């Protein structure tokens, strides 16, 4: 899974980057800094938008306040890639199955959980 840097991460990186060596003439002698990241990437913003996330935020506030009358006790935010929250097997399960199909000797290596070996 790809990981993105938040604006706070970039600011922290910028503050802690080592200063470039003034004697470094070649590109590979320079130290990496925030200045090396394209401005468009540094200014990119991620925001969860739309009616469903907005309604979920309202319901979360009501649940936190102990609102009665809702037919559920918790929210499961399914818009952010958390399939395990709705009892789906982690993708590692499927990767392990594929690996054993490609190399059946892994079944005898005692490296995978029993549900993978059984499958």
Tens digits of per-residue pLDDT, 24-49?
555 555 566 677 778 888 788 777 77
Residue with tokens 């004697």: 23
Mean per-residue pLDDT of the chain: 76
The pLDDT value given to residue 90: 74
The pLDDT value given to residue 1: 37
pLDDT average, residue stretch 98-114: 89
Extract the tokens encoding 7.
């604006």
The pLDDT value given to residue 94: 85
Report yes or no on whether pTM surpasses 0.75: no
pLDDT average, residue stretch 12-16: 60
Pick from 47-51, 57-61, 89-93 the range whose average pLDDT is largest: 57-61
pLDDT category of residue 2 using cuts at 50, 70 and 90:
very low
DSSP at 68: S
Residue with tokens 């009501």: 62
What's the rounded Cα separation, in Å, for the pair 6 and 84? Answer: 24
pLDDT average, residue stretch 55-80: 85
Q: Reply yes or no on whether the pLDDT at 113 is more than 50.
A: yes
CA angle 56, 73, 51 (to 5 degrees): 10
């Amino acid at each position: 899974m790809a990981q993105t840097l938040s604006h706070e991460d970039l600011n922290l990186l910028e503050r802690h980057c080592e200063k470039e060596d003034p004697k470094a003439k070649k590109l590979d002698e320079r130290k990496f800094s925030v200045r090396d990241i394209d401005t468009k990437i540094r200014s990119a913003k991620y925001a969860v938008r739309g009616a469903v996330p907005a309604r979920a935020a309202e319901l979360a506030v009501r649940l936190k306040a102990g609102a009665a009358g809702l037919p559920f006790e918790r929210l499961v935010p399914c818009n952010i890639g958390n399939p395990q929250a709705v009892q789906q097997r982690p993708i590692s399960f499927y990767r392990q199955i594929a690996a054993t199909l490609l190399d059946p000797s892994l079944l005898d290596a005692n490296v995978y959980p029993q549900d993978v070996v059984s499958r």
